[in-house]
Every structure is written in C-alpha cells, then in structure tokens.
Amino acid sequence: MKNLTVRRAVAFIIDYALFCVAFTLVGMVGFFLILRIGEDDHNMIFTLGFIQIAVGMVLLWGYFFMLDCNAKYDFGKQITRIVILSYHQKFSLSMAIKHSFLKVLAGMIWPISFVYYFIRHKMIYDEYLGITIIEEDISW
C-alpha cells in the first residue's frame, strides 16, 4: 500500500469526521424541533427529516468546497502533510467546485469508491480532474 494513498484516506476521514461532529450537534437541535413541530403528523416528520438529509448533503459539498479553496482550514491534509493538486497546480475555483461535487458523489457510493481507491491508489475521478498528491514539506 502506498504511503500517500493511506495518508489521503486518513485526511478524508479526519475532515469528514469533523463535519459529522458539527452537523450532528446542529442536526440534533433540528431533529428535536422537527419532532416538536410534527408531533403526530408522521408524514411531516418524514418529509422534514428528508429535507434535513438533503441540507446535510449540500452543506457537505460546501464544506469540501471550502477546504478545497482554503487549504489552511483543511486539518486532515495538514495533519497528514499532503497536498492535492490538479494538473500540478492548486485548485482553481471551477476545479474546487468539480472536485467537491465529485467527492460527495463518490461518498454516496462509498463501498465502490473505497475498494477502487485502495486497489488503484486513486479516486474514480482523479484522471478526469488531473489529480496528483504530493507530500508537503512543513517546517514547524
């Protein structure tokens, strides 16, 4: 297993875990409000719960987009000391939009993308976006 492959996976897990903790804390408040509003209306509870999931997916895309645009906020990549480049350059705005969108889609089919990643040492969308991973030299 390539060192950078594992480090990229760990960086993703760290970033995703941070998002999940924040979304769970905020989502719990939203969930209790949904239960309170729709007390006996199960269809309303289902609908509002589904909307909450959809909002979560949009927020996840926005979170990944923010991390692609602002590397200083990407704790996963900072901890694992990697940089992801597109065609050997930092992400442009349009590339960040594409990368974050494809990252969320790959997360939706995570069993397939997980197996593909660890067999091929790249994500399904890496060739399309010209993705390369380099080790970052950080002087603390």
Per the listing, tokens 């890496």 go with 126
**Residue 7: count of CB within 10 angstroms of its CB:** 18
Q: For 6-21, what is the mean pLDDT?
A: 94
Q: Identify the pLDDT of residue 52.
A: 80
pLDDT at 119 over 80: yes
Q: For 87-105, what is the mean pLDDT?
A: 95
Q: For 102-117, what is the mean pLDDT?
A: 94
Asked whether the beta carbons of 118 and 64 are under 8 A apart, the reply is no
DSSP letter assigned to residue 121: S
Report the C-alpha gap between 98 and 95 in whole angstroms. Answer: 5
pLDDT tens digits for range 36-73:
776 676 777 777 778 888 888 999 999 999 999 998 89
Q: Identify the pLDDT of residue 38.
A: 64
Which has the minimum average pLDDT: 6-10, 21-25, 73-77, 114-118?
A: 21-25
Q: How confident is the model at residue 25 (pLDDT cuts 50, 70, 90)?
A: confident
The token pair at 53 is 């999931």
Q: How confident is the model at residue 138 (pLDDT cuts 50, 70, 90)?
A: low
User: Angle 110-120/3-37 helices, nearest 10 degrees?
Assistant: 170
CB burial string 29-39: b at 16+ within 10 A, e below: ebeeebeeebe
For 77, counting Cβ atoms within 10 Å of its Cβ (0-12 exposed, 13-18 middle, 19+ buried), the class is: buried
